[in-house]
Amino acid sequence: MQLFIGLGNPGIEYEGTRHNIGFRVIDKLIKNSNARDVSKASFYGKLYKTHNALFLQPTTYMNLSGKSVIAVKNFFKIDIKDIIVIHDDLDLPFGALRFKIGGGHGGHNGLKSIDSAISKEYIRVRMGIGKPEHKSQVSSFVLSNFSDDENSFIDKYINHSIDGITKIKDDPLEIIKSKYTLKSIDSIK
């Protein structure tokens, strides 16, 4: 069984923010698969299940995502190689998409929390959100909404990422990378 985790923050005030792109991907995966809600308080998140996949949105807030991930991983006995984390990435331009296993957290507190809970050897789906002009603006930038121009492409971006994500169980990661990696949103406009 695969565990797909979308990172974000719970609450209506965070719904359209850059930091919540992982939640938006999970929302679409749940809708596409008709997954059923199997959430429990002990999972510290919203959890949905199909016959061969779990979809998790931790509700611990970004900085404590690992608490939710380890609870679900342990309960369902999920192997680390079957964990796929979808997250925003400041180091990539808006619309860029990368797939990788392991690596550093790059200052992303959600990844830092997951790394300390289960190790770093899970699959990461890095979704580029752009970067602010100054480092001091990072917090306000990731918690801001996408621009109108970006929003006009967001559905296409999410759909492209889902096309790649859903092939992970069937194809080697190198094939996924070659077919679905994007340098920027211009690649799919």
Would you call 33 exposed, middle or buried from its count of C-beta atoms within 10 A (0-12, 13-18, 19+)? middle
The angle that helices 173-180 and 148-165 make with each other, rounded to 10 degrees, is 150
Token pair for residue 42? 């002990």
Q: Where are the beta strands (DSSP E) in 9-121?
A: 36-37, 45-49, 53-58, 83-89, 97-101
Nearest 5°: phi and psi at 58? -60, 140
Let me know if 19 is a catalytic residue.
Answer: yes
Catalytic: which of 19, 87, 108, 160? 19
How many CA atoms does the CB half-sphere of 42 hold within 13 Å?
7
Which residues are annotated as catalytic? 19
